[in-house]
Structure 1
Amino acid sequence: MSTPLVTDDLAREPANDVLALAEAARRADGVAPLSEHTVLRVRHGAPSGSSRFHVITADDRVVGFAFVERVAGEPDSGEIVVDPAHRGRGHGKALLHSVHADAGPHGVRVWAHGRTPQAAAVAAADGWRPVRELHKMRMPLRDVPADAPGGPWAAPELPEPELRPDVAARVRVRPFVVGQDEQAWLAANARAFADHPEQGQLTLDDLLQREVEDWFDPHGFFLAATTDGSVAAFHWTKVHRDGAGLSDTEAVGEVYVVGVDPDWQGSGLGRALTLAGLRHLRDAGLPWVHLYVDGDNEAAVRLYESLGFGMWDTDVMYAPGE
């Protein structure tokens, strides 16, 4: 077991090692160990004072890594990954101890993506307890035969999105326009996710980093734009070229984020934009779509189940024991 190096500035060579390490773990475990947000922080760096990188090296390369994001007034939020070829040597425990010792004034919590036995065992052995769940749901966009993974499953009907007349008179559903809609979307996102410690904190830099990613497609980013130029609701879709664990041969879609400004809650915009995005992904020929939803967001789970989604997997957030 090694003592991690803790830094707020990850150099390029270690960053490349971390991305390679994450890919090796994804192949071994069948689930990506780092969120997209963490990958972007590794690739592009983080604003000063916002993040901490914990790195374990062996044989001149990174074999263990943890990332921690700091949000004012909230516990730090972290992720940990250990090289499959270097597991069982105490690196996971060392990283847990490191992020705990380095935590901000409100403590730290760590995500484990998927219910992998290794993550659960490391957390339990060190007295960390589950405190939050993020469900992963999936839905076929075309029929899945009985002899295919996930089958048999008939793709549900996706009706044409319809807006109530009073809502349709006040908003227009259209694609996101790069260079025009950033500030309006950021304002709507912050209001829609004011109580969400990750999504609600996105900045202009965070959005611009996503705009230059290979997967970014403004035609799959739907806004309900009001007559005064604000955004009442939105549905941002994403395409995973690697299949995201749902397909070995085809790209699949994701309901990346759906948000409704609090002033527009109950307007039906959330369901309408969700349908618009799902039809967009289906019409692109994708076989599957998935999404993430907080375990305690029962209303959202019911909405997605009514559209045809089913439970697939769960990410678990752990906190240190008392």
Structure 2
Amino acid sequence: MSSEANTPTGPAAPAPARRIDVLDVLDEEQAAAVGELIAAGAREDGQYAVSEQGRLHLRGGERPGVRHVLLRLPDGTLAGYAQLDGSDPVESPAAELLVAPGLRARGHGRALGEELLRLTGRRLRIWAHGGHPAARHLARVLKLHLFRELRQLRRPLTDLDLPEPVCPEGIAVRAFVPGQDEEAWLELNAAAFAHHPEQGGMTPRDLADREAEPWFDPEGFFLAVREDGGELVGFHW
């Protein structure tokens, strides 16, 4: 499914009205500008247009298979951004994109989408976080179709009256240990999510990125292990 903002996209503006650069890596200034654009979009839409994985890809140097598409106005203003990830050896390249809140409905989203299609030979998946009407409109403009929809289920954690958890015989639960459990967890994650190209394709670098984040707390990363040998059989993060 396609992703843009929550305002219908307009016809493509004349070519001189913008410049599109495709980069393999962002420098510090470019990464900061893109991060500010993504944050502004989230404040406007109530939802990040670029996933956590994509935001981690903004920094830390070049990522194999990942390209950054920056759309600028003649005065240098960053009006839009797309990230293209072609690292999956089986699935089509995946992309996420957004346009600056004050510059929407001017054809910039369409221009980004057309550039992504050109870069991939029209073999493309685009994630649209939040399912905004404009994303569906842009998908129709680009002749894309909805092929997967993810839903989140939630409930408040207040006033819970739950029984104490009971593990199956021979299974114990402990916290993740940084520097010890990475390899085994990556193997387990890949097996558990073999059907899910994004989650199942997590690499050592992806995990290290998350461990370096301020929010990471191994005490909230639970592993289910066999008591006779310590083999990982499940997890809850």
Q: TM-score, normalised by structure 1?
A: 0.65
Is 1:158–2:175 an aligned residue pair? Answer: no
Matches of 1:34 and 1:217, distance apart in 2 = 23
SS at match of 2:147: strand
**Mapping for residues 123-138 of structure 1, pairs under 5 Å:** 123-138=139-154
State the Cα deviation string for residues 103-142 of structure 1 (Å, max 9, x = none).
16x8111011102122222222222211110112211111
On the 8 A contact 1:6/1:53 being kept in 2, the answer is yes
Would you identify which runs of 4 or more consecutive aligned residues in structure 1 move more than 6 Å?
none
On the 8 A contact 1:14/1:62 being kept in 2, the answer is no
On the 8 A contact 2:66/2:83 being kept in 1, the answer is yes
The aligned residue for residue 126 of structure 2 is 110
Matches of 1:156 and 1:46, distance apart in 2 = 45
Q: How far did 1:3 drift?
A: 4.4
Is 1:219–2:235 an aligned residue pair? Answer: no
Q: How far did 1:18 drift?
A: 0.7
Matches of 1:125 and 1:156, distance apart in 2 = 46
On the 8 A contact 1:77/1:109 being kept in 2, the answer is yes
Q: How far did 1:45 drift?
A: 3.4
On the 8 A contact 1:4/1:54 being kept in 2, the answer is yes
The aligned residue for residue 56 of structure 1 is 71
Q: How far did 1:156 drift?
A: 4.6
On the 8 A contact 1:184/1:229 being kept in 2, the answer is no
Unaligned runs of 5+ in 1: 143-154, 237-322
Structure with more of its chain in strand, by fraction: 1
Is 1:76–2:77 an aligned residue pair? Answer: no
Which region of structure 1 is more displaced relative to structure 2, 121-130 or 29-38? Answer: 121-130
Matches of 2:192 and 2:168, distance apart in 1 = 21
On the 8 A contact 2:19/2:72 being kept in 1, the answer is no
Query: How many residues of Structure 1 are paired with residues of Structure 2 in the alignment?
Result: 218
Matches of 1:208 and 1:9, distance apart in 2 = 19
On the 8 A contact 2:25/2:63 being kept in 1, the answer is no
Unaligned runs of 5+ in 2: 1-12
For residue 230 of structure 2, what is the amino acid of its counterpart? G
Q: How far did 1:12 drift?
A: 1.6
